[in-house]
Every structure is written in C-alpha cells, then in structure tokens.
C-alpha cells in the first residue's frame, strides 16, 4: 500500500475544489478548523449508523412514557429533557339512594411541565393512582400524588379531591390538585357541582369530573339512574346518578384517571 505524507492539500484552480474518493479516516480523525466548513453536496449522505455521532446540536432522540412508578434512565447521548407529569384524578361521588340526589364529580389533578437543560442519568418517577368512584351513598376517593425527583429538581403534581355523594350536607365543590417545581404549574379544575332533584323526578344530571391540563379531558356528567363515567389521565370521574324512592338503585361514581409522566429526550 502506498502512503503520501503532506501538510496541506489545496485546490489547483480556485473554486474547483479537491476530489477525494474512497478515503478512510484513521485513528487521529479528521478535524475541521475553526471557521472552516464541511459541506455535503446535494444528494450526499453522512452515515454514522455504524458509529457514534457526537457534538451535533438539537433533535428529539426518544420519548419515555410512565403509567406506573419506576426509574427514568437517560438514553445514551441525550443531554436535555422535557418532563410533563400529572397526578391522579379524584373519583366521582355516588348518587344517594331513595332521594334522587346526584353525586358530584371528582376534581382534576395538578400538572407540571419542566425543561431540564442538563439531563440526569436517572430519576425517580412516582405515579399517583386513580381515585375510586364512590359506591351507593359514598363519596369518591382522592387521586394519588405524582412526582419526579432527580436529586436536584423535584416536580410535584397533587391528585384531585374525590367528589361528594348525593345529598352531602356540608357540600362544597371538591378542589383540584395543586402543582409545584415546574416551569409551568397548573392546578386541576374543580369538579362539576352536585346535582339535586326533588326526590321524585329525573330532572338533573350529576356533576362532571374536573379536568387536568395534560391531557385536558373531563368525564361528562351522568343522567338519572346511570353510573358516573370513568375518566382519562389526571381527570376526575363523574358523579353517579340517584334513583328516587328506590333504596338499592343509586349509582356509583366514576373512577378518576390515573396519573402519568412523559419525558421527551433531546441530543
């Protein structure tokens, strides 16, 4: 094999360039000096599939999605991440048997959104459980809290409050879960109010479930004699319907949506 050792290769005629075909760059590598430019002509390709490309800015590399608690592990070469996390939605309250009173919906959970410029190697992800809808004459359960923690940054997304059962004497609209630690912190929305009937007619609907900012969804209210609808991630379940004069027929509230966490990874 022949070998040519030179300090500089320059084009012979200005603007014609130097044509190099089938060159293998050895261990010392190829360095483009400060101010220099490596141009790939139209139709050309830089193929790094068999090696590792470093130093290139930007670009979405991967997305990790958590629906249960676990450990986030940074993908190789990732330098930046965006985290979105929400708590569990509150369960809807049940209707009250024998009166026609409708349950209120559960409240939505808090939501956090955070850009992290120096991605940690690992983080602890806690996902809040969904609040269970109340059985006949029982209020719904609160949703669980979600969190992200990497030793430096902590995000907290509190679960939504469960809805009251129909005819609850100290009624107030269940409040949404709070959020903290993010660049954007949004509390979940309050649930729909408790529906009331006169005890003899099918005149009203139950309270709707409160929404969560991500994804923004809510459980639609139920009508008389119908169980409350379950909800999506972070949102509250709808209240259940009550049946007048039928002690065994009041309907359960819907379950809230469990929490979730999405992490977008960038090179």
Other beta carbons within 10 Å of 16: 8
Residues 167 and 220: their CA atoms lie apart, in Å, by 20
Look at residue 13 in the predicted model and tell me its pLDDT: 67
Residues 103 and 141: their CA atoms lie apart, in Å, by 13
Is 88's pLDDT higher than 80? yes
Dihedral angle over CA of 22, 27, 30, 33, nearest 10: -170
Whole-model pTM?
0.74
Q: Where does the pLDDT of residue 169 fall: very low under 50, low under 70, confident under 90, or very high at 90 and above? A: low
Residues 100 and 178: their CA atoms lie apart, in Å, by 33
Residues 166 and 105: their CA atoms lie apart, in Å, by 10
Percentage of the chain lying above the pLDDT 70 cut: 72
Residues 155 and 179: their CA atoms lie apart, in Å, by 8
Q: What share of the chain is helix, strand, coil (3-state, %, to 5)?
A: 0, 20, 80
Residues 88 and 131: their CA atoms lie apart, in Å, by 7
Closest CA to 93 of 196, 203, 198, 168: 168
Is 198's pLDDT higher than 70? no
Can you tell me which residue has the tokens 């850009």? Answer: 115
Residue 65, φ and ψ in degrees, nearest 5:
-125, 125
Q: Where does the pLDDT of residue 192 fall: very low under 50, low under 70, confident under 90, or very high at 90 and above? A: low
Closest CA to 81 of 111, 106, 115, 131: 115
Instruction: State the chain's mean pLDDT as an integer.
Output: 81
Closest CA to 126 of 258, 236, 264: 258
Is 195's pLDDT higher than 80? no
Other beta carbons within 10 Å of 218: 25
Look at residue 31 in the predicted model and tell me its pLDDT: 78
Look at residue 16 in the predicted model and tell me its pLDDT: 63
Average of per-residue pLDDT across 56-72: 89
Look at residue 223 in the predicted model and tell me its pLDDT: 54
Q: What is the pLDDT of residues 107-153, one digit of tens each?
A: 999 999 999 999 999 999 999 999 999 987 888 999 999 999 999 99
Closest CA to 90 of 253, 236, 260: 236
CB–CB of 99/225 below 8 Å?
Answer: no
CB–CB of 112/179 below 8 Å?
Answer: yes
Other beta carbons within 10 Å of 245: 11
In the chain, alpha helices (H): none
């Amino acid at each position: 094999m022949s070998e040519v050792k030179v300090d500089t290769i320059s084009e012979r005629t200005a603007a014609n360039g130097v044509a190099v075909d089938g060159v293998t760059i050895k261990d010392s590598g190829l360095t483009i000096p400060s101010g220099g430019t490596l141009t790939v002509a139209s139709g050309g390709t830089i193929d790094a599939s068999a090696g590792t490309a470093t130093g290139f800015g930007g670009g979405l590399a991967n997305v990790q999605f958590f629906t249960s608690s676990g450990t986030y592990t940074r993908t190789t070469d990732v330098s930046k991440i965006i985290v979105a996390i929400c708590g569990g939605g509150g369960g809807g309250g049940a209707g009250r048997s024998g009166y026609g009173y409708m349950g209120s919906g559960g409240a939505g959970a808090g939501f956090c959104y955070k850009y992290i410029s120096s991605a940690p190697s690992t983080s602890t992800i806690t996902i809040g459980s969904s609040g269970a809808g109340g059985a006949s004459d029982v209020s719904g359960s609160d949703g669980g809290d979600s969190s992200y923690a990497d030793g430096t940054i902590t995000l907290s997304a509190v679960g939504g409050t469960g809805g009251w059962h129909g005819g609850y004497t100290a009624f107030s609209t269940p409040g949404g879960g709070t959020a903290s630690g993010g660049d954007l912190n949004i509390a979940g929305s309050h649930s729909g109010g408790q529906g009331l009937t006169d005890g003899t007619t099918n005149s009203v609907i139950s309270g709707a479930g409160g929404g969560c900012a991500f994804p923004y969804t809510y459980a639609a209210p139920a009508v008389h004699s119908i169980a409350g609808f379950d909800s999506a991630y972070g949102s509250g379940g709808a209240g259940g319907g009550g049946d007048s004069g039928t002690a065994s027929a009041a309907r359960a509230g819907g379950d809230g949506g469990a929490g979730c966490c999405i992490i977008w990874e960038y090179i």
